[in-house]
Amino acid sequence: MPSTVARELRLPDDGGMPSPAKSRRLAVGVGLDLAWGGPVGFRRDIAAGDSVSPRVARFLESHAGELSHFFVSWQPRGRGRLDAAEYHHGWDDLFARVSTPVRALHHTALNLGTTEPYDRGAIFELTNDLVSRYRFEWINEDLGLWSLGGRPLPYPMPPLFTKEGLRAAVRNVRQCQDALTVPVVVEFPGFSGDMSPTIGPMHPYAFLRAICEETGAPATLDVGHLLSYQWRLGRRGEALYDDLERLPLDHAFELHLAGSSVVDGHFVDAHHGRLLPSQLELCERLLGLCPNLRAVTFEDPRIEETGALEPASADSLAKLRAVTKLWQTA
């Protein structure tokens, strides 16, 4: 097993614990995908310096104390050469408002599922700068194809579920483990709508398990992503929860839940802040199956202009907290 597996994933409790398996359980946190120029994102200002949008600022000022952890998704500021300094003004403003010390980075440029040559040098340099400056504890990314031939995709495609795809993904994860200064947590990919073709004979659950066992990487199980795969197979009702034993349950470090919908018979990873009952049900089941699970994260709740959560997002967050309460205190 590679030496990078022994790298510590430290979460605060009595001076920090040496691994996901030994660190304390966190309560429910929030993750935000903050685009540049959007109402929920960052504002560009060459003169005064970039800043987080007023809507996000108000949300963090009123809710940050309730969050056990927080992650931000990396979005490129522009199409020019990657330079971490270009992110400092906006991200400094963001993290001045985030009171929890437990922070993580959701990456979108590691491209862990690619089988093509992919130069990550500049991405590694920028990422390690951000990790150091904002004290991120871990980095996670969906195990997928975020770009093809240098062109970004609108939604990450799953990897090739073949022997070649598996070898490439293991190689990519190991390269990231060696280059990045905090642990890399590998997330089960989504199968939303018609944008996620499934190519190859390997079962995606077993594919993720093989990667985690080969590299020692912790895993993020996105509940909507798991359901989207079962939905793709035509499963409904109780069958949506089949095959959970094929997942890397011992490696599962974090659960993600983002608002999802069923539209015209398709499962859509909508990120609109409204959790489906099946997501809460699967979350509750996984809480009892993943012995080393340490974090549950609500992704992209909808935020009103006042900074309050939209009623549907507030209701989903309350239900998620109720589902996780017993697990968090056990």
Tell me how far apart the alpha carbons of residues 220 and 198 are, in angstroms, rounded to a whole number: 20
Predicted local distance difference test score (pLDDT) of residue 58: 97
User: Considering the domain boundaries, does residue 265 fall inside one?
Assistant: yes
Angle between the N-to-C axes of helices 163-179 and 204-215, in degrees from 0 to 180, rounded to the nearest 10: 40
Residue 329 has pLDDT above 90, yes or no: no
Contacts of 1 (CB under 8 A, 6+ apart): 216
Domain of 53, CATH number, reads: 3.20.20.150
Predicted local distance difference test score (pLDDT) of residue 7: 40
Cα–Cα distances in angstroms (integers) from residue 291 to residues 27, 48, 60, 175, 253, in the given order: 16, 48, 31, 27, 9
User: Considering the domain boundaries, does residue 182 fall inside one?
Assistant: yes
The pLDDT tens digits for 248-299 are 999 999 999 999 999 998 899 999 999 999 999 999 999 999 999 999 999 9
User: Considering the domain boundaries, does residue 103 fall inside one?
Assistant: yes
Quickly list H helices, the chain: 54-63, 85-95, 121-134, 163-179, 204-215, 223-232, 277-289, 311-329
Tell me, yes or no, if the pTM score tops 0.85. yes
User: Considering the domain boundaries, does residue 159 fall inside one?
Assistant: yes
User: Considering the domain boundaries, does residue 160 fall inside one?
Assistant: yes
User: Considering the domain boundaries, does residue 12 fall inside one?
Assistant: no
User: Considering the domain boundaries, does residue 211 fall inside one?
Assistant: yes
Which residue range forms the structural domain that includes residue 42? Answer: 21-329
**186-208 core/surface letters (b: 16 or more CB in 10 A; e: else):** bbbbbbbbebbeeebebebbebb
Tell me how far apart the alpha carbons of residues 200 and 185 are, in angstroms, rounded to a whole number: 23
The pLDDT tens digits for 99-138 are 999 999 999 999 999 999 999 999 999 999 999 999 999 9
Confidence of residue 193 (pLDDT cuts 50, 70, 90): low
Predicted local distance difference test score (pLDDT) of residue 19: 42
> Based on the structure, what is the number of domains in the chain?
1
User: Considering the domain boundaries, does residue 10 fall inside one?
Assistant: no
Predicted local distance difference test score (pLDDT) of residue 194: 66
